[in-house]
Amino acid sequence: MPNSVPTTTSSATPVDDPGAPRFLASDNTSGICPEAMEYLVQANQVDDLAYGNDRWTAKASDRFRELFETDCEVFFVFNGTAANSLALASTCQSYHSVICHQLAHIETDECGGPEFFSNGSKLLTVAGDNGRVTPERIATTVTRRGDIHYPRPRAVSLTQATEVGTVYALDELHAIHDVADQHGLRIHMDGARFANACAGLDASPADLTWRAGVDVLCFSGTKNGLGFGEAVIFFDRELAEDFGYRCKQAGQLASKMRFLSAPWLGLLESGAWLSNAQHANAMARRLAAGVEALDGVRLMFPVQANSVFLELAPATQQALRDSHWTFYTFIGEGGARFVCSWNTTPALIDSLIEDLRQALRS
Amino acid sequence: MPNSVPTTTSSATPVDDPGAPRFLASDNTSGICPEAMEYLVQANQVDDLAYGNDRWTAKASDRFRELFETDCEVFFVFNGTAANSLALASTCQSYHSVICHQLAHIETDECGGPEFFSNGSKLLTVAGDNGRVTPERIATTVTRRGDIHYPRPRAVSLTQATEVGTVYALDELHAIHDVADQHGLRIHMDGARFANACAGLDASPADLTWRAGVDVLCFSGTKNGLGFGEAVIFFDRELAEDFGYRCKQAGQLASKMRFLSAPWLGLLESGAWLSNAQHANAMARRLAAGVEALDGVRLMFPVQANSVFLELAPATQQALRDSHWTFYTFIGEGGARFVCSWNTTPALIDSLIEDLRQALRS
Amino acid sequence: MPNSVPTTTSSATPVDDPGAPRFLASDNTSGICPEAMEYLVQANQVDDLAYGNDRWTAKASDRFRELFETDCEVFFVFNGTAANSLALASTCQSYHSVICHQLAHIETDECGGPEFFSNGSKLLTVAGDNGRVTPERIATTVTRRGDIHYPRPRAVSLTQATEVGTVYALDELHAIHDVADQHGLRIHMDGARFANACAGLDASPADLTWRAGVDVLCFSGTKNGLGFGEAVIFFDRELAEDFGYRCKQAGQLASKMRFLSAPWLGLLESGAWLSNAQHANAMARRLAAGVEALDGVRLMFPVQANSVFLELAPATQQALRDSHWTFYTFIGEGGARFVCSWNTTPALIDSLIEDLRQALRS
Amino acid sequence: MPNSVPTTTSSATPVDDPGAPRFLASDNTSGICPEAMEYLVQANQVDDLAYGNDRWTAKASDRFRELFETDCEVFFVFNGTAANSLALASTCQSYHSVICHQLAHIETDECGGPEFFSNGSKLLTVAGDNGRVTPERIATTVTRRGDIHYPRPRAVSLTQATEVGTVYALDELHAIHDVADQHGLRIHMDGARFANACAGLDASPADLTWRAGVDVLCFSGTKNGLGFGEAVIFFDRELAEDFGYRCKQAGQLASKMRFLSAPWLGLLESGAWLSNAQHANAMARRLAAGVEALDGVRLMFPVQANSVFLELAPATQQALRDSHWTFYTFIGEGGARFVCSWNTTPALIDSLIEDLRQALRS
């Protein structure tokens, strides 16, 4: 790709401005990474056809097929709620249900999007350690009711990486696939942090999806360095039937589609989709390592992707907030969540560790 | 706003490359205008809060309030289908109906989006010269049925400018308002080309909306120079109750919202929202003027905004296509539609006129 | 079946009470026929299992299978709007469309039920003489648009007998089947007056449905002599997958199901389903024959089932209303509609003819 | 009302036929009570207008207004799932939520009906002793989330009597009303066994509903002695706006409406609505009293209406099933549920007690 276009870097949170907010609340506070911005600017050089008939969209789709080593169907939509909800609706009718973890984003943070897009499908939530659904829980849930007075389970939704920053290992995915197959359940993967899972497991996208029985993946670009944009990737092509119509009707067909697909192409051609995730994961591990030795801090979950959940005393939390750190405490099972991104700097992490150390001392 | 950020112009279709496609099919083939791109790049300089809690979104909303000279409620969504469908759903329940022109985009080109988002509201279409709904047709339609076996009309949807490139004049809007009021109908305005209507009528946004009884406007940014993004503007604030929830559930809440709102701010602060439209309209008039004298071409509708519909013989159409002109023939009431944009050049228009002249000669 | 249960006849409108309303407005003003009432009373003799696990429901389903000479799937629901809407929803997703006549009940009198149950499927209406959809219109409609900006046609809905009292002959059904097959369209039959069509054509239920390509039939019991109750009969069993769940979720699973199914069994075992229709059709023909010779009355459509549409001067209409005749003038294409039922008496018909004659004389 | 119509009694389960099933599984295994049947037969004597414009429907509505001592709005629908779902949909938009007990029928046994009719409203379930929602749980749930990423609570649904056969006392209802008011929540009452609650509490329908803040009640006729039919009664008339359209669209407008409303009138004019419930409750108390002294049986909940839940060893359960007793074990919190009805005889109850005694002895 041309590098004649002007560099348009997004800096991470500056650490030298003591009054500035310090963003570790989520990986959606960061901006657009250079590789994505370059392609966006490039796609803006000349006019092009609308609705995906441009020079970028087919190319981006083909790159996904290469990345996943299979002839999957690829659709670009605007955000994660839409991606998940539309993908789930392709597996379900309104009188069906989807089994998911009780901390799953589709249950806790999409304002009933899955129920809306499917016109009423029910989410059947299950508990599970470290944010993971287990084959046993799936089996129990799917067999609990078999009468028409309760929505029939038709899909399992897995979040990879999970809402608490852990990942499903390959053998866990295969065990889930077995039980899903046994009960005629499709597998949907909420890949809001799919790249982070690939990086964390050092596993290929193909191994983590269709080779493990995943039927449809929602691969987030927004959290991986785009401004907007998720790819819905169908490994079971039957589920994709008329999915273009579904997206259009649901307000998810971008007319200037190239501004969704070209940035994706930037991530894929440059390899930034993976290096961004590797960097974010490394920053999370740096944070985990830095606080391990601190008294008064407990790591709540294994750090396997780009999130770190810390159990902190209220006073410690307040001290951090006073130093302009942004973080959430209501996500997952409580605790303070810090999420690293493609542009989180080691300096920022170190500064957090230092501030934590200070807070704990006093 | 800073001008230190690098210029990132989008050129119009080049006219000197004879093999390149020449885009006049729609105003969504053009790219992002410089004013929008500048703000997008600027919003990417540092991290910021998600979901609209950033430094840009509230500012953009306030600028809309200034522009419309009233304390309206403003929401940013991704595209036009979503904007229209969600706005209409706020005026209707599933057993209600919306009166619109038979050529309205909500009827002909949104794949049942309004029906989907409202869970079944019916569109009652009416005919009308030059793409315009008349007060008489509204009155006839709203009184045709009064029983519970047919969806009760609750809203009128007007497209300003219309699908055939005409506009509703102020007195027409007021006459429609009268009949709407009489029958308890809300007024929704599909403003896919609202800026072009303001330019074409030389009327203020306030005069064309709430002062003429419009309850909710969908103001398109995409067709006005953004990459994506529409503003849903409620003048009747009651309709906006919980609309943030509605957007979120429907997959229309951008997490990195600033990349929707900052470009809007660029349009509004620079005045490009209007100058872009004025330019596009001027190009449309240039085209209309240039073909008026040609034998074998008939202007199908008055050119009051940025679209030109030409009745052309099939052979003439083919000759243009052979010269790589892109245009639609199925929109509106047939004929060849040419739409000008913020970046349509006089040279491109002149080249089309010349090609037409050539085609007609042979 | 036992005849020890007390007779509980429903009389037709009495003709000897000059002040009583005379009901020919619709076949839903009549009551429950004796054969249905007998079974209802019988089903009330002892308690029974709920939700169709009783002694009546499976038996009634089997009788339908015998009647239709095929192993169809049978579901009992409460009314016609639900039957049609649920059946159509089984053929469609929200982004699909259904081709139907512009006078079809699903379009004109179900308050958007089909759109509601399908979460947005669009009805594409076509004109057609005598209330009938033609293969040509289907072909034109299905090929008019092939892009994702408009709902994709997936089904044709035929009303048999039609809303104007005509029927589709066997060869017409086969011609429609051919074009439907060619374009991948399912065939839904709104059988609000299916029995009347069988009687009118002297054709078997099997010949008029699955042998002519019908995938799903909504067979009305309400208009055939029940108090409530329609049978949804799937000849394409794939469409019936999980339809029990669909009915339950949509509020159409009767807990005391036997009070829907036993009366149906009464109609089927006694043959009243057909004799009721034959009687109603005969009464319609009697009316048609009686008015043929009258000046100032025009039969608007061939009388092929149980409805008669008469073109009458406003004064004539008023004279009839003054004599307490109930009839509609807004159904179909206007005119005064008279519908005969299982309990319409020859005396009532003759009295209408006489009143008409009087009205025309003055 | 005339008593010349033949008696058409529904006997309870016969106790003298040892091979016959003994129905205590639910109050929907019983049939139509004589008072309802008489009116149904009467309504079948002459033809009448459709869609509620008959001689019965307005009268039945007026009787409800007398019974509730207020000018409420009354609608008749076919079954409980529809009644509850439509009533809830009138209080909610798709992005809202309803707080209910985790054992509520709307959550556990309506196959996602509420989510379907509302196009996605979420049910937020809470635990609570004896099947009752508490003000504290409501307060906790409504304040847990206040962000747009989670459906906003707009209603509380109470089941009176509850799913485990208990009732809400007046002071409990008032306490719930207080907390509901404080948080802007509407109160919906699922009155599947509302008559049993009135009987159990010896309280007036008015006291148990609008005087305690209930906005809309679904009053079940099916479980009270009808073949089908529920009344949706709005005390907040604003919620009832266009509810007739809602019913029609949702397939819940009976064309031969008089067969729903006349039996209701029978219940109301005769007082059977209450005496039926009193009888059923008395039978439940008889059962409870009869088993109290038995070793190996534990009453799981106070018997305040017409249901009795018994903790029984598996062998005991099997012994009862071998003697043809029908009962459920999966409803509520487990245990064997026995439900008495208007036609449950003392002999049947005594025979169950005897069979239990026998089963426990061996």
D114 touching B, CB under 8 A?
Answer: no
Residue A291, beta-bridge partner list:
none
Range with lowest mean pLDDT among C17-31, C165-179, D87-101, D342-356:
C17-31
Tell whether D44 is within 8 A of chain C (Cβ).
yes
Q: How far is A30 from chain B (nearest CA, A)?
A: 5
Percent of chain A with pLDDT over 90: 90
Average pLDDT, chain B: 94
> Is the pLDDT reported for residue B15 higher than 70?
no
The whole-number average pLDDT for the span B243-247 is 98
What average pLDDT does this structure show over B220-230? 98
Best D256, D343, D345 residue to mutate vs chain C (most C CBs within 10 Å):
D256
pLDDT tens track for D112-164: 999 999 999 999 999 999 999 999 999 999 999 999 999 999 999 999 999 99
Residue D14 pLDDT exceeds 80:
no
CA separation for the pair B10, D330 (Å, rounded): 66
Cβ B121–C109 below 8 Å, yes or no? no
- Which chain A residues are Cβ-neighbours of B260 within 8 angstroms? 228
Among C95, C111, C112, the residue with its CB nearest the CB of B112 is C95
Name the nearest CA neighbour of A38 among A77, A67, A78, A4: A4
Task: Please check the confidence at residue C94 and state whether its pLDDT lies above 60.
Answer: yes
Cα angle D204-D61-D262, degrees, rounded to a multiple of 5: 105
3-state percent helix, strand, coil for chain A, nearest multiple of 5: 45, 15, 40
Residues in C touching D7 (Cβ below 8 Å): 6
ipTM: 0.95
Lowest mean per-residue pLDDT among A16-20, B220-224, C193-197, D279-283: A16-20
**Structure confidence at residue D5 as a pLDDT band (50, 70, 90):** very low
Task: List the single residue in A108, A116, A149 with the smallest CB-CB distance to D119.
Answer: A116
Q: How far is B21 from chain A (nearest CA, A)?
A: 8
d(CA C327, CA C340): 11
Predicted model pTM: 0.96
Say what the pLDDT of residue B14 is.
Answer: 63
How much is the pLDDT for B133? 98
Q: Is B258 on the interface with D (CB under 8 A)?
A: no
Q: Which chains touch B (3+ CB pairs under 8 A)?
A: A, C, D
pLDDT in tens, A86-137: 999 999 999 999 999 999 999 999 999 999 999 999 999 999 999 999 999 9
Contacts of D120 in chain A (CB under 8 A): 112-113, 115-117, 119-120
Q: Which residue of B has its CA nearest to C144?
A: B330
What's the whole-number mean pLDDT along residues A258-275? 98
Share of chain D above pLDDT 70, in %: 95
Partner C contacted by D108 (CB < 8 A): no
C246 touches chain A (CB under 8 A): yes
Asked if D111 lies within 8 A of A95 by C-beta distance, the reply is yes
Residue B5 CA: distances (Å) to CA of A64, B49, C67, C69, D161:
32, 22, 78, 77, 68
Which residues of chain B from 173 to 232 reach within 8 Å of chain A, CB to CB? 222, 227-228
Tell which phi-psi region holds residue A70, choosing left (phi > 0), alpha (psi between -120 and 50) or beta. beta
Structure tokens at C249: 């979720």
User: Hey, is the C-beta of D109 within 8 angstroms of any chain C C-beta?
Assistant: no
With contacts defined as CB-CB under 8 Å, which chain D residues touch A112? Answer: 94-95, 97, 120-122, 151
Which residues, 6 or more positions from A112, have their beta carbon under 8 angstroms from its beta carbon? B249, D94, D95, D97, D120, D121, D122, D151
d(CA A121, CA D153): 19
Q: What is the mean pLDDT of residues B208-216?
A: 98
Query: Residue C222 CA to chain centroid, in angstroms?
Result: 8
Q: Cβ–Cβ of B31/A43 closer than 8 Å? A: yes
Q: Which residue of D has its CA nearest to A105?
A: D149
Residue A80 neighbours by CB under 8 Å, 6+ apart: A105, A110, A190, A192, A218, A220, A222, A230, B255
Residue D164 confidence (pLDDT): 96
Mean pLDDT along residues B286-306: 96
**pLDDT recorded at residue A334:** 64
Neighbours of D140 (CB within 10 A): 12
Q: What is the dihedral of CA B199, B200, B201, B202, to 10 degrees?
A: 30
Residues B344 and B41 sit within 8 Å (Cβ to Cβ): no
Q: Does B254 touch chain A (CB under 8 A)?
A: yes
| Whether B96 and D242 lie within 8 Å, measured CB to CB | yes
Which of C40-49, D9-18, D169-178 is predicted with the least confidence, judged by mean pLDDT?
A: D9-18
CA C8 to chain CA centroid, nearest Å: 25
On whether the CB atoms of residues D157 and D290 are closer than 8 A, the answer is no
Query: Where is pLDDT greater, at C258 or C8?
Result: C258
Tens digits of per-residue pLDDT, A319-362? 999 999 999 987 666 689 999 999 999 999 999 999 999 999 97
Instruction: Count Cβ atoms within 10 A of the Cβ of residue A55 and give its class: 0-12 exposed, 13-18 middle, 19 or more buried.
Output: middle
Report which residue type is found at C273. Answer: W
In this complex, is the C-beta atom of D132 within 8 Å of any C-beta atom belonging to chain B? no
The whole-angstrom distance between D71's CA and the closest CA on chain B is 22
Subunits close to A (at least 3 CB pairs below 8 A): B, C, D
Q: How confident is the model at residue A25 (pLDDT cuts 50, 70, 90)?
A: confident
Q: Give the confidence band of B4 by pLDDT, cuts at 50, 70, 90.
A: very low
Confidence of residue A13 (pLDDT cuts 50, 70, 90): low
Find which of B242, B243, B253 to mutate to test the D interface (most D CBs within 10 Å of its CB): B242
Q: Which of D57, D245, D246, D255 to mutate to test the interface with C (most CBs of C within 10 A)?
A: D255
* φ and ψ of D151, to 5 deg: -55, 135
Q: What is the 3-state secondary structure (H, E, C) of chain C?
A: CCCCCCCCCCCCCCCCCCCCCEECCCCCCCCCCHHHHHHHHHHCCCCCCCCCCCCCHHHHHHHHHHHHCCCCEEEEECCHHHHHHHHHHCCCCCCEEEEEECCCHHHHCCCCHHHHHCCCCEEEEECCHHHCCCHHHHHHHHHHCCCCCCCEEEEEEEECCCCCCCCCCHHHHHHHHHHHHHCCCEEEEEECCHHHHHHHHCCCHHHHCHHHCCCEEEEECHHHCCCCCEEEEECCHHHHCCHHHHHHHCCCCCCCCHHHHHHHHHHHHHCHHHHHHHHHHHHHHHHHHHHHCCCCCEECCCCCCCEEEEECCHHHHHHHHHCCEECECCCCCCCEEEECCCCCCHHHHHHHHHHHHHHHHC
Q: Which of B110, B115, B148 sits opposite C115 (nearest CB)?
A: B115
Average of per-residue pLDDT across A175-200: 98
Provide the pLDDT for residue C333: 62
pLDDT tens-place string over residues A273-321: 999 999 999 999 999 999 998 999 999 999 999 999 999 999 999 999 9
Beta-carbon contacts of D199 under 8 Å, excluding residues fewer than 6 positions away, are D274, D277, D278, D280, D281, D305
Q: Convert the pLDDT of each residue in D188-219 to its tens digit.
A: 999 999 999 999 999 999 999 999 999 999 99
Q: What is the pLDDT of residues D151-188, one digit of tens each?
A: 999 999 999 999 999 999 999 999 999 999 999 999 99
Q: Which residue of chain B has the CA closest to C108?
A: B150
Q: Are the beta carbons of D248 and B148 separated by less than 8 Å?
A: yes
Domains and CATH numbers, chain C: 22-33+272-361 (3.90.1150.10), 34-270 (3.40.640.10)
Asked if residue B89 has pLDDT above 90, the reply is: yes
pLDDT band at D17 (very low <50, low <70, confident <90, very high): confident
Contact A47, B20 (CB under 8 A): no
Nearest CA in chain D to B119: D119
Are D166 and D130 in contact, with CB atoms under 8 Å apart? yes
Q: What is the DSSP letter of A13?
A: -
What does the pLDDT read at residue B6? 39
Mean pLDDT on B315-340: 88
